């Protein structure tokens, strides 16, 4: 049993004003206390998401206002070190992972109901990068109501969400066509998808990959200017969904999904753990960095171009 003595202060990363990555500060902050239904985690790894730097730059302040100083971070893996009232599903010392509040820290609070037990053979770095992508993949796929044998087109299939969405859909017997850059074509093929290059002419390449069969649904995780053609491809907006283009989606009648629930969070982790138990889970980690280098991590995320999650290690 590890030493679970709790300090009153610990290291965390925060920003006190909107701006560039230089606004991030690595400082001592008060260790948070778990409220009803919450647990306190000693964070072993926390993943970086695009949401983090968009929030820091002020792009999301209308929808997600924050109180300064704000500690970013949405997901982590760690050890339960304290429990709040009603969080009886976990015990001190349990190794867990899931959605986490203010995860860029040595200690962070999480809603107990959204966590899952971390198997000993699932690395903390991999586990930390699963919750957000798994939740997003599940809530994007659910309304598409895909049946075995149907064809699903996933735009941006090599990203974190796309990679899991491919695996979830393939496990359900769905035929997946995934768009990605040239360097990720083989990776998609290994996941069971038919890869096509994104860019000009992508819809023609998708039709060729479908070999005359209809494309039943489209999940758009990234890519500009492809929603209108995607709607035309499937014959209407009813089975097209995006997680990345709310403004473009509206006029087309395409659904946008931008927030999960406890149910989708749990369902996502359950599905990811099933793939892990089967020995087929692919959830790449792009790189790991010390928590103190969070500014570097967010710059890398903002630059894009890499495959896999960036993970911070306290």
**What's the CATH number where 29 sits?**
3.90.180.10
Interatomic CA distance for residues 260 and 93, integer angstroms: 27
Torsion of CA 218, 221, 227, 232, to 10 degrees: -10
pLDDT of residue 291: 98
| Spatial separation of the C-alpha atoms in residues 129 and 159, rounded to whole Å | 12
- pLDDT tens digit string along 159-170? 999 999 999 999
| Domain end among 240, 256, 272 | 256
Q: Is residue 210 domain-resident?
A: yes
Do the domain assignments include residue 2?
no
Same domain, 207 and 195: yes
Burial class of 301 by CB neighbour count within 10 A (0 to 12, 13 to 18, 19+): buried
Q: Judge whether 4 lies within some domain.
A: no
**133-166 confidence digits (pLDDT tens):** 999 999 999 999 999 999 999 999 999 999 999 9
The model scores a pTM over 0.85: yes
Quote the domain boundaries for residue 241.
Answer: 134-256
149 and 100 in a common domain: no
Among 238, 235, 193, CA closest to 214: 235
Of 221, 241, 256, the residue that ends a domain is 256
Number of domains, the chain: 2
Q: Are residues 305 and 215 in the same domain?
A: no
Please check whether residue 262 lies inside any domain of the structure.
no
Q: Is residue 74 located within the same domain as residue 97?
A: yes
Token pair recorded at residue 93: 């010392």
CA pair distance 279, 171, nearest whole angstrom: 13
Summary mean pLDDT of the chain: 96
Cβ contact 81:92 at 8 Å? yes
Can you tell me the distance from the alpha carbon of 241 to that of 159, in angstroms, rounded to the nearest whole number? 16
DSSP run (H or E) holding 250? helix 246-252
Contact 74, 132 (CB under 8 A): yes
Q: Which two tokens stand for residue 35?
A: 């409220």
* 265: in domain: no
Could you tell me if 123 and 138 lie in one domain?
Answer: no
Which residues are registered as beta bridge partners of 14?
25
Residues 193 and 139 in one domain: yes
In a domain, residue 278? The reply is no
The CATH number assigned to the domain holding 149 equals 3.40.50.720
pLDDT for residue 266 is more than 60: yes
User: Tokens standing for 142?
Assistant: 């659910």
Q: How confident is the model at residue 4 (pLDDT cuts 50, 70, 90)?
A: low
Please report how many Cα atoms fall inside a 13 Å half-sphere around the Cα of residue 94, on the Cβ side: 19
Query: Is a pLDDT exceeding 70 seen at residue 78?
Result: yes
Residue 274 lies in a domain: no
Strand 95-99 to strand 75-83: parallel, antiparallel, or no bridges (unpaired)? antiparallel
Q: Is the pLDDT of residue 2 over 80?
A: no
Q: Are residues 192 and 116 in the same domain?
A: no
Q: Report yes or no on 303 lying in a domain.
A: yes
Residues 141, 251 within the same domain: yes
Domain check: are 92 and 189 in the same one? no
Domain identity same for 235 and 289: no
Using the structure block, give the residue that is written with the tokens 């976990």. 90
Euclidean distance between CA atoms 31 and 29, whole angstroms: 6
Q: pLDDT class for 94, splitting at 50, 70, 90? A: very high
Alpha helices by DSSP H, listed for 130-180, are 131-141, 160-171
Q: Mean pLDDT across the stretch 31-41? A: 98
Query: Phi/psi at 60 (nearest 5 deg)?
Result: -115, 10
Whether residues 125 and 160 share a domain: the answer is no
Q: Name the H helices within 58-158.
A: 124-128, 131-141
Do 26 and 54 fall into the same domain?
yes
């Amino acid at each position: 049993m590890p030493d679970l003595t709790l300090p009153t202060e610990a290291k965390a990363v925060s920003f006190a004003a909107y701006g560039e990555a230089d606004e991030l500060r690595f400082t001592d902050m008060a260790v948070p206390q778990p409220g009803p239904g919450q647990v306190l985690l000693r964070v072993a790894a926390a993943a970086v998401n695009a949401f983090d730097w968009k929030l820091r730059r002020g792009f999301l302040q209308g929808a997600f206002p924050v109180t300064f100083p704000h500690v970013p971070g949405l997901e982590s893996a760690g050890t339960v070190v304290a429990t709040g009232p009603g969080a009886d599903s976990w015990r001190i010392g349990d190794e867990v992972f899931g959605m986490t509040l203010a995860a860029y820290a040595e200690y962070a609070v999480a809603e107990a109901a959204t966590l899952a037990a971390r198997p000993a053979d699932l690395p903390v770095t991999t586990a930390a990068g699963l919750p957000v992508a798994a939740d997003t993949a599940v809530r994007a796929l659910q309304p598409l109501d895909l049946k075995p044998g149907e064809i699903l087109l996933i735009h941006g299939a090599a990203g974190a969400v796309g990679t899991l969405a491919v695996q979830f859909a393939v496990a359900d017997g769905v035929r997946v066509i995934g768009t990605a850059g040239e360097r990720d074509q083989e990776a998609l093929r290994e996941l069971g998808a038919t890869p096509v290059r994104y860019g000009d002419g992508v819809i023609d390449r998708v039709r060729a990959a479908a070999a005359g069969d209809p494309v039943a649904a489209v999940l758009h995780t990234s890519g500009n200017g492809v929603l209108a053609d995607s709607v035309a491809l499937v014959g209407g907006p009813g089975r097209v969904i995006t997680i990345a283009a709310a403004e473009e989606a509206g006029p087309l009648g395409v659904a946008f999904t931008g927030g999960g629930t406890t149910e989708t969070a749990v369902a996502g982790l359950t599905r990811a753990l099933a793939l892990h138990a089967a020995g087929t889970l692919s959830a790449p980690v792009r790189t790991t960095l010390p928590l103190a280098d969070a500014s570097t991590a967010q710059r890398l995320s903002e630059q894009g171009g890499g495959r896999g999650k960036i993970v911070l290690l306290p």
